[in-house]
């Protein structure tokens, strides 16, 4: 863009060291079904399973990857922004980091950092799989346990994209956030280490 002398563009490759889990709902009518599920006469989880079978209920609540016209899994550009905000929220508490120097980090990421293209294709190293795990939660009635199910792409899969940074003084900060991906990861169940990746700068313009 003309007049933006401090604009830089980083072409990056993220290579996943652990399986990456999908985050999109597999149910196209999820909002409608969510509202219906809150109705007073809504069936309980146990009744749903008894009526429909466990496999169908689990499959309906599965999180997946969106697919492009050729069937390739991808993530949206805004998911990269979400990762950056999540990482900065943690690293800003660590003295000496670039993130600790940033105050309105969400505003800066929203306004000055732009991953592209819109759909960032994942180049898979193998077949798409699935990951099922129990989720524990606390409710007024006590602890509940449910089963979560997600599509996965295997370790060594990678994706390439560009990141536009409208002021090069933020370059080291943004790189710090991406490097944190080796520990934090992205996608579902990242607290267990899923979605961890390494970053490589392929080109800087």
Question: Does 188 lie in the same domain as 121?
Answer: yes
How many structural domains are present in the chain? Answer: 2
Residues 181 and 93 in one domain: yes
In a shared domain, residues 32 and 108 = no
Statement to judge: residues 84 and 33 lie in one domain: no
CATH of the domain at 71: 3.30.70
The two structure tokens encoding residue 91: 């690293």
Domain containing 55 equals: 27-61
H/E element holding 130?
A: strand 129-139
Whether 51 and 12 map to the same domain: the answer is no
141 and 167 both lie in a single domain:
yes
From CA 156, how far away is CA 162, in angstroms rounded?
20
Name which of 163, 128, 192, 180 is nearest 13 in CA terms.
163
> DSSP labels for 135-203?
EEEEETTEEEEEEEEEEEE-TT-EEEEEEEESSGGGHHHHHHHHHTHHHH--STTGGGTTT-EEEEEEE
Q: Is the pTM of this model over 0.85?
A: no
Per-residue pLDDT reduced to its tens digit, 61-104: 688 999 999 999 999 999 999 999 999 999 999 999 999 999 99
């Amino acid at each position: 863009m003309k007049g933006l002398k401090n604009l830089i563009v980083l072409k990056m490759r993220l290579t996943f060291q652990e399986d990456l889990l999908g985050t999109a709902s597999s149910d196209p009518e999820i909002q409608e079904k969510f509202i219906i599920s809150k109705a007073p006469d809504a069936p309980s989880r146990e009744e749903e399973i008894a009526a429909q079978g466990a496999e169908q209920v689990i499959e309906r609540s599965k999180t997946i990857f969106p697919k492009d016209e050729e069937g390739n899994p991808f993530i949206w550009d805004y998911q990269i922004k979400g990762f950056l905000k999540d990482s900065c929220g943690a690293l800003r508490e660590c003295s000496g980091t670039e993130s600790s120097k940033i105050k309105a980090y969400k505003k800066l990421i929203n306004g000055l950092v732009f991953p592209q293209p819109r759909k960032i294709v994942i180049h898979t190293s193998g077949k798409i799989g699935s990951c099922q795990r129990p989720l524990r939660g606390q409710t007024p009635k006590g602890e509940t346990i449910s089963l979560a199910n997600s599509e996965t792409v295997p370790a060594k899969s990678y994706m390439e994209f560009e990141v536009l940074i409208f002021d090069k003084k933020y370059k080291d900060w943004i790189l710090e956030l991406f490097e944190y991906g080796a520990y934090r990861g992205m996608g579902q169940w990242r607290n267990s280490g899923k979605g961890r990746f390494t970053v490589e700068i392929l080109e800087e313009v």
